Structure 1
Amino acid sequence: MKYQENIYSRLFNWGKLLLPAKSIKYFPPSFVLRDPIIHQVEKAMNHGYEVAVVVIDITNLHRIKQQLEARGFLDYIRFLKKSFRATLQSLDASNDILAIHDYNPNGLTMYIKWQQGTECLALLDGLLKKIIHNVERAFCESDSVPPVFNTGYMFIEKKYTYLNDAIQTAYELALAMAHKRSDTEFNKLVHALSNIVANKSIRLLAQPIMDVETNKIHACEMLTRGPEGTALENPLQLFSLARQTKFLYELEMIVLEKAFEQIQQTKWRHNIFINFTPVTIGNPRFVKDIKSVIRRFHGISPKKITIEITERDSFEGLEHFTNNIKVLRMLGFLIAVDDTGAGYASLNSISEIMPDIIKIDRSVIQNIDKNSVKESMLKGLLLIAKEVGSIVVAEGIESAEEASVLSKNKVDLAQGYFYARPTSLSNHLQIS
């Protein structure tokens, strides 16, 4: 923004060069000697987090500037930044926000770290809606002209040689998402995704779910990858784009079809877990479309398929969700709830859905052998599962020590890199 240098000269002094990067995450100056944002992003990614670049575009900023005198516009921007800062500091997820800055000319950019995989997308959507709502409310309570926001986000790829390039690429894609139809880059992204959907050009990998007692494969979860060697190979990029362009339903139904194809081709005899968001399950077309797949692959019993309700989307307000779950059960499908233990929402889902299978979130399992509180949480969740009549799957097992805690507490099933990494379903036939 043109006012940027004036604001920085007032709000910051260059002595902050000596401060830790995390202490200047709210609107840091554009340092020459170091960039605190790159430092924070690199640190988060080195610790295994995914990092999303979020662009918050103010579509009416130019009009606001025309309506205000120069001094009034500076005051407006100060109030805008103050509102964002107060909102971000009040959130439970404030520690996950690495930085927010105003280097781009028509809005703000945030960097947010996430520990989860594709299940974090619903959380990110919910967080952005909450942030925007709170800032809009702050303007409604003042006499200021309310800003109009568009948002877009994209995750930083980990394959780049230079992190600066990866951040810039993610920013440009996020900006394209925020600009949407008027932006050429956005149209390119939509075209790429529409080709993937039209040609069903996704790949499925399978990760075993192990019987803790026997150490044998009980089932496999199907994991999606985009076309190899493309920008959308990464499932986070693929599903981020799908959510923001309304292709999510079509993409998830292709995953279902591909999973049935692989079961048929490999003659897989164990259970298969297939992920669905509540939005897809609640779609009025869902039951009709899933029945069509069953008829096409009539030799595969739905009793061998577990519909895993993934991501932390709320299913409140989804008119067809509850009825569609009932129909799925009538057809023979098993129902699993993901991310249990990650928050109240997942526990509420259990009471509403009464799932056949409960998957305990990685946040509970990580370092459980060193944390007695986490083990107590595990025991509590096992009691809930027993009350509901659900089988328990512990996710994200990465060490023998974590696995031993599961065995000691008689957890039914487990999944994670300690047992096996995702690969093709046929590769698991030899050890199943």
Structure 2
Amino acid sequence: MLSTLIKKFRRFPYFSLDKRQWMKNVIRQEIEKGRNVVMFYVDIVKMTEVEQRYGDTSAKRVLHIFEGILPGVARQAFEIKGKILAIQKLWGDDFAIYVSFGGQVSDEDCRMLSIHFQELAERQLNRQVSFVNREDLRVHIGYATIAGHDIVREMYTSVKHAVHMAKYGITSEKYTHMTQFHKLLAEENVNMHFMPIIHLPDGQALGWEALARGPQNSPFATPATLFSYAEETDTVFRLEHICRKRALEQLRYLNPNEKLFINLDPRAIDDPFLLRGKVQSLLANYGLNPHNIVFEITERHAITNYAVFRKIIEEYRKKGYLIAVDDAGAGYSSLESITEIYPDFIKLDMSLIRNIDVDPIKQALLETFVSFAEKVNCKIIAEGIETERELETLMDVGVVYGQGYYLGKPDKGMAQVSGQAMNFLRYMQEKQRDGAKETIIVAPDMTEILAKTICVEKHVRVRRVHEIFEQNQRIESVVVLEEGRPIGLVMRFSLYQILGGQYGIALYYERPVSHIMNTNPLKASKNDRLDEVAKRAMARDAYHLYDVVIIVGEQNEYLGIVTVQNLLDKMASIKLEMASSANPLTGLPGNVQIERELNGRIKQREAQMVIYCDLDRFKWFNDRYGFEVGDQIIVRTANLLRDASRRFGSGNDFIGHIGGDDFILITAADHVDALVTYLIDSFSSYFTDIYEKCRMGDDVQLSMSMAGVDLGPGMFTSAEAVARRAADVKKWAKSYPGTVFVRDREREEQASVETAGGC
């Protein structure tokens, strides 16, 4: 039988898998001649069923007949346009036919040739094979082009490609789509859209998630169908590799404080393009660092080997990349992934967010996630926010970052938060500010904890910075200057992390420090409030959380640094001081904080006003009706001042309790009129119940004298000077009956005074 078969194949070689090298040379020679080589895969449909129903002997006879007709059918079908190079038996009833074409051969040409071969093969096979009560035998066929870049590899992948095509039938719509999908991969015809991830407290973009899209008006326009075809054809790694390349092309549009979120399937995580490619150089060219990239480990598929997976994740971390766990709460092994990966971000799946405003179970689960994230220094991102109510619930629970169609839809460019969502976020900011029980207390400015570190110019080599750290073990940071102004920062741990990579020293050691520095370090003015700087410092991502803060002067000149440790220590000291100096009755800051506040405000450039408030006839009420009533009056006055500040203040007001019945309120100059008017109009009504409870035929009523002192730039040099001026104006205010407000300039000009009598 073998000799007969060889004779039938006399016109072209017939070979097995051990002749791949020979086939490789044949294909290369054809491609070098400018010809196109296509591999056609064929097999008999349900050959296993034939064997099971009719026995092994009948199955072998069918295969023998098919092998016999194959050369003639191939010649008759394919030599219309091309030349057969070889027929290769792959396994069982599977064969590969390699055909060379002299000119361009299109998909439609290959498809028509395949249909012609299929019709001829099925006609001849069923003419020679017949079974009782069985339908005709069918033949599968598929094809794939061999480009010639890596012939041995393409011989293998082309078989896989063609098998997938053959599976669906050459004339089916699915077959057509499969052909289009492989063409999409070959041409890398994938577009990326970018969905904003928003910092909810201020509406600014933390970054954007890169989302893959196929060609418009094609079956692959949506990510679901695109990746579905990749799953079916076992090309997930190839598709994700293309998506990552396309996403990284947009790095040029990223600011140093923004991030690009890129999906990473666990099965495709070991990507040389990311770990050993030119991504680091690409980042350096755009003035970015690896921490500008966040890889989202998607949970579409479970991670099967965490030991290996952790090692690869650590490679990404050593490069400086950040890691997020995607689809948390959606199933598979969310919690296990979080505990194994230690992510910088946890992205909560939209199934947890949907209708969370009306689902107490989801709210309780979300609270647990938020609490957990705070304890492990990780950030929560809520996905799939689609309604205003969902967003409000998330913010009330404490979620800081979010994305979804309500905040902003995916777009080709780096879209910002939508106008509708921005208006709502502003409303939430006002609501949060109005709901604060205590006014903002300003801590000392940054000069109290200022320190120094070594500075270098931007052209200094990385080698020199490394030497500085080696020679100064107590130095943790080096500031990079340009003409005396800070433009970058290098932390010891980040430098060692970069140089400790596989190619770190070779790639960066002799390059200027500007290639590896953090180009967007946190900077603060010497007059900035310590508590505000502390908030900004702790809001940074985990990679930069413990970077020093650079302090600058009025001309942005370098003054020094403040470490996070010193910042937190000072804040703890201030809180202790506030607790000890606050008035125990009203809870308002006492004289120590008032003096510090005044001195801090004097240094500021904004137009402000100090309002000194003194209750009239308070001693009479206190002596007549006792300390209990007196305490009620003091507490009620403090609440009135808080209420006025919440309603009409600047949002940055300060309220202090000097002692007894004396209070101080500081607000922006343009808020004074509305605030004072409310105090005058509301004062009497705030004490109505006390009057009713205590009135015993007395006509004496409470009132309040308010003295306003302008705190414009350069007007005062100390808190004592402000206090003296306020006391002077207060005497003038007390000369008028009822609740009154007098400005210091009004006293000088003998101008009109606003008054309101008691009721």
Output the TM-score relative to the length of structure 1.
0.55
In structure 1, which of residues 367, 372, 376 is the aligned counterpart of residue 360 of structure 2?
372
For residue 180 of structure 1, report the CA deviation from its aligned partner.
Answer: 3.2
**Whole-angstrom CA distance in 1 between matches of 2:352 and 2:51:** 49
Kindly indicate whether residue 349 of structure 2 is the aligned counterpart of residue 361 of structure 1: yes
Kindly indicate whether residue 375 of structure 2 is the aligned counterpart of residue 387 of structure 1: yes
1:90-101 mapped onto 2 (5 Å cutoff): none
Kindly indicate whether residue 312 of structure 2 is the aligned counterpart of residue 336 of structure 1: no
Residue matched to 1:403: 391
In structure 1, which of residues 280, 286, 300 is the aligned counterpart of residue 268 of structure 2?
280
User: Closer, same or farther in 2 for the Cα pair 1:181/1:324, shift >3 Å?
Assistant: farther
Assess if the C-alpha contact under 8 Å between 2:195 and 2:415 holds in 1: no
CA offsets 1:113-159 (integer angstroms, 9 cap, x no match): xxxxxxxxxxxxxxxxxxxxxxxxxxxxxxxxxxxxxxxxxxxxxxx
Structure 1 stretches (4+) deviating beyond 3 angstroms? 57-67, 176-191, 265-269, 285-289, 317-320, 426-432
1:21-420 mapped onto 2 (5 Å cutoff): 60-61=48-49, 63-64=51-52, 66=54, 180=167, 188-265=176-253, 270-282=258-270, 285=272, 287-288=274-275, 291-299=277-285, 300-317=288-305, 320-343=308-331, 345-420=333-408
Q: State the secondary structure of the residue aligned to 1:275.
A: strand
**Whole-angstrom CA distance in 1 between matches of 2:379 and 2:250:** 25
**Whole-angstrom CA distance in 1 between matches of 2:275 and 2:310:** 15
Assess if the C-alpha contact under 8 Å between 2:208 and 2:261 holds in 1: yes
User: Closer, same or farther in 2 for the Cα pair 1:412/1:59, shift >3 Å?
Assistant: farther
For residue 365 of structure 1, report the CA deviation from its aligned partner.
Answer: 1.0
For residue 242 of structure 1, report the CA deviation from its aligned partner.
Answer: 1.1
**Whole-angstrom CA distance in 1 between matches of 2:387 and 2:180:** 39
Assess if the C-alpha contact under 8 Å between 1:357 and 1:393 holds in 2: yes
Q: State the secondary structure of the residue aligned to 1:298.
A: helix
For residue 315 of structure 1, report the CA deviation from its aligned partner.
Answer: 2.0
User: Closer, same or farther in 2 for the Cα pair 1:361/1:429, shift >3 Å?
Assistant: closer
Q: State the secondary structure of the residue aligned to 2:339.
A: helix
Assess if the C-alpha contact under 8 Å between 1:312 and 1:345 holds in 2: no
Residue matched to 2:633: none
User: Closer, same or farther in 2 for the Cα pair 1:385/1:65, shift >3 Å?
Assistant: farther
Which amino acid letter does the alignment assign opposite residue 272 of structure 1? L
Structure number with greater Rg is 2
**Whole-angstrom CA distance in 2 between matches of 1:238 and 1:64:** 38
Report the identity percentage. Answer: 31
Q: State the secondary structure of the residue aligned to 2:195.
A: strand
**Whole-angstrom CA distance in 2 between matches of 1:58 and 1:314:** 33
For residue 288 of structure 1, report the CA deviation from its aligned partner.
Answer: 4.3
User: Closer, same or farther in 2 for the Cα pair 1:233/1:386, shift >3 Å?
Assistant: same
For residue 266 of structure 1, report the CA deviation from its aligned partner.
Answer: 6.5
Which amino acid letter does the alignment assign opposite residue 310 of structure 2? T
**Whole-angstrom CA distance in 2 between matches of 1:238 and 1:247:** 11
- Bigger RCO of structures 1 and 2 (CA < 8 A, at least 6 apart): 1
Which amino acid letter does the alignment assign opposite residue 261 of structure 1? E
For residue 320 of structure 1, report the CA deviation from its aligned partner.
Answer: 4.6
For residue 286 of structure 1, report the CA deviation from its aligned partner.
Answer: 5.6
Which amino acid letter does the alignment assign opposite residue 210 of structure 1? I
**Whole-angstrom CA distance in 1 between matches of 2:217 and 2:344:** 37
For residue 191 of structure 1, report the CA deviation from its aligned partner.
Answer: 3.6
User: Closer, same or farther in 2 for the Cα pair 1:268/1:234, shift >3 Å?
Assistant: farther
User: Closer, same or farther in 2 for the Cα pair 1:277/1:429, shift >3 Å?
Assistant: same
Assess if the C-alpha contact under 8 Å between 1:209 and 1:221 holds in 2: yes
Q: State the secondary structure of the residue aligned to 1:411.
A: coil
For residue 298 of structure 1, report the CA deviation from its aligned partner.
Answer: 3.4
Assess if the C-alpha contact under 8 Å between 2:251 and 2:283 holds in 1: no
**Whole-angstrom CA distance in 1 between matches of 2:397 and 2:46:** 52
For residue 391 of structure 1, report the CA deviation from its aligned partner.
Answer: 0.3
User: Closer, same or farther in 2 for the Cα pair 1:287/1:258, shift >3 Å?
Assistant: closer
User: Closer, same or farther in 2 for the Cα pair 1:66/1:387, shift >3 Å?
Assistant: farther
Assess if the C-alpha contact under 8 Å between 1:312 and 1:346 holds in 2: no
Assess if the C-alpha contact under 8 Å between 2:260 and 2:293 holds in 1: yes
For residue 394 of structure 1, report the CA deviation from its aligned partner.
Answer: 0.6
In structure 2, which of residues 409, 419, 428 is the aligned counterpart of residue 421 of structure 1?
409
Q: State the secondary structure of the residue aligned to 1:338.
A: strand
For residue 231 of structure 1, report the CA deviation from its aligned partner.
Answer: 1.4
For residue 294 of structure 1, report the CA deviation from its aligned partner.
Answer: 3.1
Assess if the C-alpha contact under 8 Å between 1:335 and 1:357 holds in 2: yes
For residue 362 of structure 1, report the CA deviation from its aligned partner.
Answer: 1.1
Range that drifts further, 258-267 or 405-414: 258-267
For residue 390 of structure 1, report the CA deviation from its aligned partner.
Answer: 1.0
Which amino acid letter does the alignment assign opposite residue 252 of structure 1? E
Identify unmatched segments of 5+ residues in structure 2: 1-44, 56-162, 423-759
CA offsets 1:240-275 (integer angstroms, 9 cap, x no match): 111221221122122112112122156685111111
**Whole-angstrom CA distance in 2 between matches of 1:268 and 1:201:** 29
CA offsets 1:34-83 (integer angstroms, 9 cap, x no match): xxxxxxxxxxxxxxxxxxxxxxx98845555557xxxxxxxxxxxxxxxx
